[in-house]
Amino acid sequence: MPSHEVADLSLAEAGSARIAWAEGQMPVLAQVRERFAAERPLRDIRLAVCLHVTAETANLVATLIAGGAQVALCSANPLSAQDDVAAALVSAHGVEVHATRGEDIAAYTRHVHAVLDTNPHVTIDDGADLLATAHERGGPALETIIGGTEETTTGLVRLRRLEAAGKLRCPVLAVNEARTERALNDRHGTGQSALDGIVRASNVLLAGQTVVVLGYGWAGQGIAERARGAGAAVIVCEVDPLRALEARMAGYEVMRALEAAGRGDIFITVTGSVRVLRAAHFERMKDGAILANAGHFDVELDLDELAAQATDIRPVRPLVDQYELADGRRLHLLAQGRVVNLAAAEGHPAAVMDVSFALQALCAEELVRLRGAVAPAVLPVPNRIDVEVGRLKLAALGVAIDEQSDEQREYRQSWM
């Protein structure tokens, strides 16, 4: 039995069932795993992984092991670990896991350190906790690292600050910014799962509703598209003129948030900014309006101002709090303003994580291949890897596409 700190090993069987279900929806990762098993590109490599401990992550870990790696895993968020999956990874896959759902900050930090104590060669992060802690610690935990990968925007922000300060000690591949990741994860993953969270929490029929999407970035575009597809009328609010123009040209109504406040039935913030909906907006909203946030942090809805306007706050369903205002209107806040697709649904579906984690596995292989040959910096995922993942996903979907002829390639490269 490997070294571990998990909630309950007796949950392993349930965890294995969940891992198998996700596996069925991760054909790209399966193809990578098959090649890894034959070529063993990660043999003798110690890999430290700090991701949400989910069934999808378990399939990534199995792929890394198939490639020959020794893996230690902790959770990227104290609330996100699936205890049954953690148990299955320890007892069925022999993985060193340090993660329990609901762990306090002291346990969370201890788990990150335990994983770093394995003196990894490669780190896989979602939020940069492994690499940031390794840089803080210094010593063997940092010296052995030949590179890392990063899954999320927030982690890249931290690592770029480290780089700007001249302190980054290893190359990092920005998986979060790969083209396939952007196309699948933010648009389709967030697009579907944010609405899934809203529907699960409220049981509202989207058709016929007016949905206001605040922020028309990668994630907002996916949400707007899915809401329209479900029969809702969609209004977009933006602060970037180009994004606002794109939304208008895509056929959405675009207007100021103050104007949209009086029109919407469902409001979804997804900006990465702060206090996007405030007292002035709440004052104009219709009775029964629903408020949800799909941005990373729970700061996009000003909940203090909402509470200050309320004469009564009461839970009316699981994950729905009703704020009754002085004039009798009721506003419904979902999942306390936390990221709604994780708090009220299951985050990105496995088919989306299939692409993200195929990228992660191939980037780990790339870091091993480049060992010592690249300077410490935050680097884009090589286009070759992006194209490979896109190709594998198409193949898994049974889609064939044309190839350029030599004549066409030459024509497009010539300047005449």
Ligand X SMILES: NC(=O)c1ccc[n+]([C@@H]2O[C@H](COP(=O)([O-])OP(=O)(O)OC[C@H]3O[C@@H](n4cnc5c(N)ncnc54)[C@H](O)[C@@H]3O)[C@@H](O)[C@H]2O)c1
Footprint of ligand X on this chain (CB under 6 A)?
Answer: 153, 186, 190, 214-220, 237-240, 243, 270-273, 276, 294-296, 339, 341
Between 31 and 180, name the residue whose CB sits nearer to ligand X.
180
Burial 367-393 (b: 16+ CB within 10 A, else e): bbeeeeeeeeebbebeeebbebbbebb
Between 95 and 268, name the residue whose CB sits nearer to ligand X.
268
Between 144 and 153, name the residue whose CB sits nearer to ligand X.
153
Residue number of the CB atom closest to ligand X:
217
Between 17 and 157, name the residue whose CB sits nearer to ligand X.
157
The angle formed by the CA atoms of residues 367, 370 and 372, to the nearest 5 degrees, is 105
From the CB of 294, what's the least distance to ligand X, in Å? 4
CA 183 to chain centre: 13
From the CB of 280, what's the least distance to ligand X, in Å? 13
What span, in angstroms and rounded, lies between the C-alpha atoms of 81 and 78? Answer: 7
What span, in angstroms and rounded, lies between the C-alpha atoms of 271 and 278? Answer: 14
From the CB of 67, what's the least distance to ligand X, in Å? 28
Q: Answer for the pair 123, 172: CB distance below 8 angstroms, yes or no.
A: no
From the CB of 181, what's the least distance to ligand X, in Å? 10
Residue 84's CB is within 10 A of a number of other CB atoms, namely 23
Using the structure block, give the residue that is written with the tokens 């007796």.
Answer: 10
Between 70 and 360, name the residue whose CB sits nearer to ligand X.
360
From the CB of 193, what's the least distance to ligand X, in Å? 6
Q: Answer for the pair 126, 76: CB distance below 8 angstroms, yes or no.
A: yes
From the CB of 2, what's the least distance to ligand X, in Å? 31
Tokens of 370: 């480049």
What span, in angstroms and rounded, lies between the C-alpha atoms of 271 and 285? Answer: 20
Q: Answer for the pair 148, 47: CB distance below 8 angstroms, yes or no.
A: no
Between 48 and 290, name the residue whose CB sits nearer to ligand X.
290
From the CB of 336, what's the least distance to ligand X, in Å? 15
From the CB of 23, what's the least distance to ligand X, in Å? 22
Q: Which residues lie across from 313 on neighbouring strands?
A: 323
Between 134 and 247, name the residue whose CB sits nearer to ligand X.
247
Between 153 and 336, name the residue whose CB sits nearer to ligand X.
153
Between 36 and 282, name the residue whose CB sits nearer to ligand X.
282
What span, in angstroms and rounded, lies between the C-alpha atoms of 402 and 416? Answer: 25
- Reference 230, options 173, 192, 279, 269; nearest CA is 192
Q: Answer for the pair 116, 133: CB distance below 8 angstroms, yes or no.
A: yes
Between 55 and 141, name the residue whose CB sits nearer to ligand X.
55
From the CB of 177, what's the least distance to ligand X, in Å? 10
Q: Answer for the pair 310, 325: CB distance below 8 angstroms, yes or no.
A: yes
From the CB of 296, what's the least distance to ligand X, in Å? 3
What span, in angstroms and rounded, lies between the C-alpha atoms of 269 and 292? Answer: 7
From the CB of 410, what's the least distance to ligand X, in Å? 36
Tokens of 404: 């350029």
Between 303 and 367, name the residue whose CB sits nearer to ligand X.
303
Dihedral of alpha carbons 374, 380, 386, 387, sign? negative
Report long-range pairs for 157-166 (Cβ below 8 Å, ≥24 apart).
158/127, 158/128, 158/132, 159/128, 159/131, 159/132, 159/378, 160/378, 162/131, 162/132, 162/135, 163/376, 163/377, 163/378
